[in-house]
Structures are given as structure tokens and as C-alpha cells.
Amino acid sequence: MVKHKILIMGAGKIGTTVAGLLARTGDYISFIGDLNPPHTLPQIYNNPIQFIKMDITKAGEIKDFIKLNHIEGIVSCLPFNLTIEVAKIASECGINYFDPTEDIATTNAVNQLASGSRGTFAPQCGLAPGFISIAANSLMNGFEDIDYVKMRVGALTQNTSNSLSYAFTWSVDGVVNEYIHPCMVIENGERKFKPALGDLETIVVNNYHYEAFHTSGGVGSLVDSFMGKVKNMDYKTMRYPGHCNKMSFILKDLKLGESPALAKQILSKVIPHAEDDKVVVYVSVQGNKNGVFSEKTYTNTLYPVTVDDNTYTAIQMTTAAGICTVVDLVMHEKKLSGLVKQEQISLKDFLNNRFGSYYSQGDKA
């Protein structure tokens, strides 16, 4: 059987996890491109991951590598501000493209590139955006009219003790980015932008109390897809109680949100990184179903998992499993093509996929 060749740009935790999960199936040959090799690399028997030193600013060299090695797809696991450079390379080479970015401006630019590309483009295929859109779309089936779609995701430590009630379990860049940019919602049938860290609420999942507030990007393309069909729709991030008010003081009252680089530098020194994490997913759809005002919910709490003696955090696996599932549906199962919006993917197809099945391992309701 011919193996699919795929290049993952970015040798961080998500990139190495994607490369490892794909390579261990035997159906993919994984290359990782970055300036520096990863700290650790999953060891895949008989199908080793190949690290290639690459500089994203030298697009010509990367395109030469793609053509020479017959690469079929490329995944951007670089910081969001470099993602568009990967998409340009994919478009110019006519190959498939994937990313998990939550940055709205980046996604808009990727969508423009997709319109003129020969390859399939699947942006925002991680957790949120990504799986959260697939779950929300699935819950909406069967409603005559929909009053509210609520999407909530928390990437959290299993325990917390510091004053911010938080530890970094994923990218510092990503956290600050989603905390400072406007958040797209549908409110009373109209598209609106709400400030990040706003509309604080309390939410209970599996008897745990969390707070939730607006952050940017997690809604993905759902607002565009469901304008005129849904009265209200929003995405919020979940944290332990007390976090939002303190972050609002730091980013808004102290105006550090106007200096993202400084904010990241300060927060990196006072907020620890942790690997004993969990990812909490909550989706609720309210509306009329069979003439009765009803609510359908999906909740899941996912934890770290060990695969082939490699232990991956919950945020690594939820994000990487989302990416790998879409890669598999495009390149191996040939079920998707063109510009792929996550809500085009059925929850059944996602969970039945060998990578998406990770989402079946959590505490579901």
C-alpha cells in the first residue's frame, strides 16, 4: 500500500503528537519541519518520523522539499502569526492543507487562498475551533427553530492553587491572543462582536463549578454558516472561578492587552506550565423540537493518555486528534474536498475515525 506523505510544520508538542499519531498507523510517512529539532520525538517502529531543518521564511526551500519528496499534505502547527505562510506554500504547491488556528484574520486569509488552490484546505481543525463545531452542528439536527447554541471549552489543570486559578497547558501566544481580540457571536439574529473576557457566567459540568467568558476564534465558521437559522450563538472559554476578573484587570485595566508581547512575557513568569491537565467540553442547544421547547447537551471531560509508552496531555490529544481525524478523512478516506468547514463533518464520522475515537474515552454525558 502506498503511504501518504505529510509535512508537519512546527516541532512543538502538537506537531510531534500529530506526526506520531499519523506515523504509527503505517499509512503515513511523517516529516517534521522546524528550525530546531523537538525535545522528544515519538519512536515509531519501522516508520520513523523524519525531522527536517526548515525555516518558514525560506518558502522556496520548503516548496522544493515538497516537490522532491512528493508531499501530499502540510499541517501548520506553528504559532498563529506564521500560519498564513504555510497556507501560501500549500496553495502554490497545490497540496492539502490543515491547521488548528483560532485566529480569525489568519483563517480569513487561508480561506482566500483555498479558493484558488488545487488541494483541499481544512483550517481550524483542532479542538475549538474544530471538534466543538462538529458537536454543536450534530446537536442542532432535528430542531425546527433554534433559540440558543452555547459552546464552552476549558483547557485546565486538574488541580489549581495559585491566585489566578490557572496554569498554562498550551500556547502562551494562543491564550493571550484569544483574551484580547473581539469575539464573533449571533445575538438576537444579528452578527455582532463582543469584547473578550466579557459576559461572565457560571457553568456546572459533572458537578464541577466553572466560570465562562467570551474569547475569540473558538466559534470557527459557525456564525457564517448559521446566520438566519439560529437566534443566538456564542463560544466561551471555561476557567476556574476568579480567573476572569484578574485577567481582565491585567489586560484591560493595566492595558497590557495593548502590548501583547509584554503581556506574554509577564504572564510566562508568573503563571506556571503544567501537564496534569484536563479538557472540558460543553455544548448546549435550546429550541423547539417536535413542537416542544427542548434542550440537548453534550459534555465530555478528557484526560492525558498514554500511547505506545508516550504520555500526551489532554490538550495535546484533543487538538492533535482533531487534526489527524480531518487529515485522515481527506487523505485516506477521501471523504472531504475543497474548502472544508468543520461543521460539514458529522459527529458520527468523526468519532468512528481511528483518531477521533479518542473523544470517546472521556467522561461523557
Q: Beta strands of 10-84 (E only): which ranges?
A: 28-34, 50-53, 73-76
**CA separation for the pair 337, 36 (Å, rounded):** 33
CATH code reported for the domain at 4-127+314-364: 3.40.50.720
Helices 172-180 and 260-270, packing angle to 10 deg = 130
**CA separation for the pair 126, 123 (Å, rounded):** 9
Intervals of the chain under pLDDT 50:
none
pLDDT tens figures, 307-358: 988 899 999 999 999 999 999 999 999 999 999 999 999 999 999 999 999 9
How many other CB atoms are there within 10 angstroms of residue 86's CB atom? 27
**CA separation for the pair 210, 194 (Å, rounded):** 21
CATH 3.30.360.10 for the 131-310 domain, yes or no: yes
**CA separation for the pair 362, 280 (Å, rounded):** 9
CA atoms within 13 A on the CB side of 61: 10
**CA separation for the pair 29, 20 (Å, rounded):** 10
> What are the residue boundaries of the structural domains of the chain, listed by start?
4-127+314-364, 131-310
pLDDT tens figures, 50-80: 999 999 999 999 999 999 999 999 999 998 8
Q: Return the C-alpha torsion angle 90, 94, 100, 102, nearest 10.
A: 80
> In this structure, what C-alpha cell is assigned to residue 284?
448546549
- Single-letter amino acid code for the residue at 299: T
Helices (H) and strands (E) in the chain, counts: 11, 17
The answer to whether 77 and 18 are in contact (CB under 8 A) is yes
Model-level pTM?
0.93
How many other CB atoms are there within 10 angstroms of residue 225's CB atom? 16
Kindly list the distances between the CA atom of residue 36 and the CA atoms of 52, 53, 271, in Å, as whole numbers in the listed order.
Answer: 9, 7, 25
Alpha carbon 357 to chain centroid distance?
16
**CA separation for the pair 159, 166 (Å, rounded):** 9
- The DSSP secondary-structure symbol of 163 reads T
DSSP string, 104-157: HHHHHHHHHHHTT-SS-EE-S-BTTTBHHHHHHHHHHTT-SEEEEEEEEEEEEE
pLDDT tens figures, 277-295: 999 999 999 999 999 999 9
- Given the C-alpha cell 485595566, which residue does it identify? 253
Structure confidence at residue 32 (pLDDT): 97
- Given the C-alpha cell 460543553, which residue does it identify? 282
- Given the C-alpha cell 493595566, which residue does it identify? 254
Structure confidence at residue 170 (pLDDT): 82
Structure confidence at residue 66 (pLDDT): 98
Structure confidence at residue 104 (pLDDT): 87
List the one residue out of 126, 141, 165 whose CA is nearest residue 327: 126
Alpha-carbon dihedral sign for residues 210, 275, 49, 94? positive
